[in-house]
Amino acid sequence: MISLTPARVASSFSRPAVAAALPAARCSFGKMRQGGYMVSSDVVNNAARGGAGAPSGARGTVTAATGGGGAPAGNIVDAITDDHKRLFSYCDQLRGQGLGHDQREHLRHQLVHDLAVHSLSEEEVLYPALKNACGNEMRNHVLDEHTTLKHILMDIDKMDADDPNFNPRLDELVHELRHHVQEEEEKVLPMFASKVPTSDLEHLGDKFERTKGQVPTRPHILAPNKPATGNVVVDRLTAPLDKLRDSAGGREV
Ligand SMILES: [Fe+2]
Ligand SMILES: [Fe+2]
């Protein structure tokens, strides 16, 4: 199994292809919502943006990249790419050595929270715009991949980090996530950025960050994964319930 460090992810899925693809065609987007998103923890020490270079699995230390909700968004390509790095940083630390049970549990909660929020925010903000700019086929493909990820994440949400089945399931998640992220960063986002004006990419980046504070914080599969026009709307209804469960369960992410 290939070990996926944040530095490797950063180098494998860097942005030159996206940066090279400059705006061309016109798209229009709806009004932005208000909202906010905070990540806080006394366990997590913020590392450099993107997590690259952070000590991987250092004994007794859990690291997290900044760039979650509340951070200056930049454009949506940068916001999504920063999220990807942070998600891989959590996975890398969970697959490392030397962390205690509480630290592994904290990382597991953080991974579930951030991947659920990231996926749903993409579905609400990026994918509708992607459908407009690039068509149904690409949008439906990435939605199918999200459903695969959500199935695995639902298992991880229920497992203790020291469960003997946890690491194999985490390996599956990393495998699927790596494939999905590679597609988004090497194909989907460059094509999208080539068809959307810079100002719209920036507006979508703001909207993406704000949406993170409004979507559910756990994975939900509410319907067979076909063009998820209804899924996002229904998912929104579960957001307050997820947050109550996070509080009741002592999850602090
Ligand atoms: Fe993504
Ligand atoms: Fe995605």
Whole-model pTM: value is 0.71
Which amino acid is residue 171, in one-letter code? D
- Ligand 2 centroid–CA 245 distance in Å is 25
Q: What pLDDT does 240 receive?
A: 64
CA pair distance 188, 184, nearest whole angstrom: 5
Q: What pLDDT does 252 receive?
A: 65
- Ligand 2 centroid–CA 100 distance in Å is 30
Q: Which of these, 110, 103, 29, 106, lies nearest to 69 by C-alpha position?
A: 110
175 token code pair: 């495998």
- Ligand 1 centroid–CA 60 distance in Å is 29
Q: What pLDDT does 74 receive?
A: 85
Q: How many C-beta atoms surround the C-beta of residue 11 within 10 A?
A: 10
CB of 221 closer than 8 Å to CB of 77 = no
Q: What pLDDT does 241 receive?
A: 65
Give the domain ranges of the chain. Answer: 33-248
- Ligand 1 centroid–CA 42 distance in Å is 27
Question: pLDDT of the chain along its 253 residues, tens only?
Answer: 333 333 333 333 334 444 444 333 333 333 232 222 223 333 233 333 333 333 333 344 555 444 444 445 589 999 999 999 999 999 999 999 999 999 999 999 999 999 999 999 999 999 999 999 999 999 999 999 999 999 999 999 999 999 999 999 999 999 999 999 999 999 999 999 999 999 999 999 999 999 999 999 988 876 444 444 445 555 666 666 666 666 666 666 6
Q: What pLDDT does 43 receive?
A: 29
Enumerate the H helices of 187-252 as residue ranges: 189-195, 198-211, 229-248
21 DSSP assignment: S
- Ligand 2 centroid–CA 139 distance in Å is 10
Q: What pLDDT does 18 receive?
A: 42
Q: Which residues contact 30 (CB under 8 A, 6 or more apart)?
A: none
Q: What pLDDT does 235 receive?
A: 61
- Ligand 1 centroid–CA 165 distance in Å is 25
- Ligand 1 centroid–CA 140 distance in Å is 14
